């Protein structure tokens, strides 16, 4: 097996089939790859709020998994107030086992706007094994899908599926500017800056135009490699 870098997009079915890896059992093996941080997209059910955390269930069309988001900062509370049952979200977090049941300990929960039917089609057409292969860039064939807005057959990944499922297990292929921003945010996280780094600081340190910084931030956030912390200007690497 090999280690993953960053966040690995997975389905709930894949998490249910994952096996724990290593003595500390802090990571899991999915299709031969050791993963720690994962991202799942699906519909929210059974949201329950407590003073210290918010729990909910995610259904992605391949299964359901319980999720927990600890509420330690005001930002955490605001993020979870926007999330309600039957909304679509992208969850980024750590895969964990509690009382022999797998769950996601989330550190980012963001609203998603795609049609859930498209996700179900993707899950059914591709299957968990193919999804893993596509994630690793090793798929030998392209899925044949129907784009919901036009009912037109689409090939070569020109649908929601490619946006969600074709992420690599590493950050190869990032644009130079994206890589610079990601590297700096990873350095910031490694020295314990809990609030992350402000975009102005990134702009000053990298000597890049703010528009370039914002463009890279959007791209890296879509990839699940970074997330905002106390506001929309502070970011950390996952």
Contact partners, residue 232, CB within 8 Å, separation at least 6: none
- For residue 99, the SS3 value is coil
Distance between the two ends of the chain, CA-based, in angstroms? Answer: 22
pLDDT at 56: 95
User: Does the domain formed by 1-170 have CATH 2.40.50.140?
Assistant: yes
CATH number among 1.10.645.10, 1.10.620.20, 3.20.20.30, 1.10.10.10, domain 176-237: 1.10.10.10
pLDDT at 192: 66
Could you tell me where in the chain the CATH 2.40.50.140 domains are found? 1-170
pLDDT at 64: 92
Could you tell me where in the chain the CATH 1.10.10.10 domains are found? 176-237
pTM, rounded to two decimals: 0.54
Query: Using only C-alpha atoms, what is the Rg of the chain?
Result: 18
pLDDT at 168: 36
The one-digit pLDDT tens for each residue of the chain (238 residues) are 455 556 788 889 888 888 877 655 567 888 777 887 888 889 999 999 998 999 999 998 889 999 999 888 888 888 888 899 989 888 988 888 887 888 898 888 888 765 444 555 455 444 444 444 444 443 333 333 333 333 333 333 333 333 444 333 334 445 678 888 888 888 876 566 677 888 888 888 888 888 888 888 888 877 777 888 777 788 888 7
Q: What is the DSSP string of 119-150?
A: HHHHHHHHHHHHHHHHHTT--SS---EEETTT
pLDDT at 101: 86
């Amino acid at each position: 097996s090999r280690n993953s870098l960053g966040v690995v997009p997975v389905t709930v079915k894949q998490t249910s089939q994952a096996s724990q890896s290593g003595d500390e059992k802090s990571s899991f093996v999915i299709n031969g790859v050791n993963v720690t941080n994962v991202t799942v997209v699906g519909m929210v059910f059974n949201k329950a709020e407590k003073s210290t955390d918010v729990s909910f269930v995610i259904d992605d069309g391949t299964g359901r998994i319980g999720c927990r988001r600890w509420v330690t900062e005001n930002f955490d509370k605001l993020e979870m107030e926007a999330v309600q049952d039957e909304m679509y979200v992208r969850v980024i977090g750590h895969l964990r086992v509690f009382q022999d049941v797998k769950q996601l300990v989330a550190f980012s929960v963001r609203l998603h706007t795609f049609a859930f039917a498209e996700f179900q089609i993707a899950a059914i057409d591709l299957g968990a094994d193919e999804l893993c292969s596509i994630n690793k860039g090793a798929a030998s064939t392209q899925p044949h899908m129907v784009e919901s807005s036009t009912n037109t057959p689409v090939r070569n990944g020109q649908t929601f599926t490619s946006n969600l499922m074709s992420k690599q297990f590493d950050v190869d292929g990032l644009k130079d500017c994206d890589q610079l921003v990601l590297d700096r945010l990873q350095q910031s996280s490694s020295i314990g800056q809990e609030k992350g780094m402000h975009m102005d600081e990134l702009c000053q340190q990298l000597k890049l135009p703010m528009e370039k910084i914002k463009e890279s931030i959007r791209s890296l956030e879509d990839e699940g490699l970074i997330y905002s912390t106390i506001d929309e200007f502070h970011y950390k690497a996952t």
